[in-house]
Amino acid sequence: MLARVTGFLAERGFDGALVGGVGLAAYGLARTTLDLDLATERRAQEAVVAFLEELGYETLHRSAGYSNHLHPDPELGRVDLVYLDEATAVRFFAACRSVPGPGGLPVRVASPEHLAAMKVTAIKNDPTRLHQDLADLRFLLGLPGIDREEVRQYFSKHGLLGHYEELVESL
């Protein structure tokens, strides 16, 4: 499904990149994930939702910033999309990296810093995610070359600086 959705986006001139569990896996954190999470531009929403529905996906939720889609065939599974406003998209996609994906084909993935920002936001919005997302954040903070100060700012912005300090001390 990854190639179909990213191909669709690219054909129409939209940026797209892996985020979520599959994005983390691209950096070496293997964990079970049952959905495909992608970030794209907000202006792509109408087209990509219509595309997924044409493929038989049911739209479970749709808002300005997110949409969730489920296919009745478990092989095709669930696709979740994050829609970025123009200013955020420019910064986000400029920082994306290309990694080998299925079949060795290159796939764009969010930077570790942006994956961390999404995890911190998820904790702020749903504190029940704290332990799972802190484990993911610990992994990201341990990656070579990550900008820890940028990640620290995301924690600070959401009033979670104590968690950042605990993570850094544990490394």
Task: Summarize pLDDT for 8-33 with one digit per residue, the tens.
Answer: 999 999 999 999 998 998 899 987 77
> pLDDT of 35-83, one tens digit each?
899 999 999 999 999 999 999 999 999 999 999 999 999 999 999 999 9
For position 7, what pLDDT does the model report?
A: 93
- The C-alpha atoms of residue 15 and residue 131 are separated, in whole angstroms, by 31
**DSSP SS3 for 111:** coil
Pairing state of beta strands 35-41 and 97-100? unpaired
Contact 101, 2 (CB under 8 A): yes
Q: Calculate the average pLDDT of the chain.
A: 94
pLDDT computed for residue 32 by the predictor: 73
Cβ–Cβ < 8 Å for 8, 51: yes
Instruction: Say yes or no to pLDDT of 102 above 90.
Output: no
